Amino acid sequence: MLSMLEEVVLLTIDDRNGKLRATREFGTAYALVGALFFDLVLAGRIDTDTEEIYVIDQPKQPPESDGNLSLDRVLAHMKQHPELKTVRDWIEEIYIERGDLEGETLQSLIDRGILRHENSKLLWIINVERFPLVSNEPQQHVNLRLAHAILSDEIPPTRDIMLVSIANACGLLGYVLSDSALETRKTRIQWLSQMETISRKVTEAILELEQIARTALPQ
């Protein structure tokens, strides 16, 4: 099974040409941070309430079993900084400390045989980096789960609620469903996105940065 982080990165790949899709400003970076925290939740390593985040000291799964360097690194960082308490503090902290989270996750998808890496030149000068899908199946599986979670009236599994909420926060749903479908299901998307504290705080962080960026631009 792919991690939430891998699923979100897979959503950012254009299936027609392997290029990374543009999302909302700051969207992808924050979405990756949110996905990383959801992976920690799914691994039983952290819990949240409406504001704060908690490291679970005695998870049911032993720490060694995660096998995910990004998660282990973030968890170690969290344990070193008990002064940071809120979900929002930690989203900002890991946003700053994220390093090449996207590159690491792309590499993981290449290692799994889902993507391949291509470098080419545009007009013999400009480097163009692409990540074509080796098979469309994993991305289609993610797309189908998102579409089903949004278009049906069924209560989705936990993982799919998380996926909708994070894809919505960073503006990736437009690559999965048409504008009219998204408009029709707007209320349901809002319900699903509101359910998870991590996504609510990711959305807040993106909106705040967008606001700062707008204010900073000359009128």
Residues that bind another protein (CB under 8 A): 41, 44, 46-50, 52-57, 60, 78, 82, 84-85, 154-158, 161, 190-191, 194-198
**Whats the size of the chain, residue-wise?**
219
d(CA 45, CA 152): 31
CA–CA separation, 170 and 98 (whole Å) = 17
Whole-number Å distance between alpha carbons of 164 and 169: 8
- Least distance CB 50 / another protein (angstroms): 5
**What is the smallest separation between the CB atom of 81 and another protein, expressed in angstroms?**
8
- Least distance to another protein from the beta carbon of 64, Å? 19
Q: Which run of H or E residues covers position 114?
A: none
| Tokens 């991690």, residue located | 3
Integer Cα distance of 131 and 19 in angstroms: 6
| Least distance (Å) between residue 214 CB and another protein | 27
**The two three-digit tokens of residue 96, written as one number:** 């700053």
- Would you call 55 helix, strand, or coil by DSSP? strand
**Minimum distance of another protein from residue 128's CB (angstroms):** 41
What token pair was written down for 171? Answer: 């503006």
Which segments within the chain are labelled E, that is strand? 46-48, 53-55, 118-122, 126-130
Nearer CB in complex with another protein: 140/158: 158
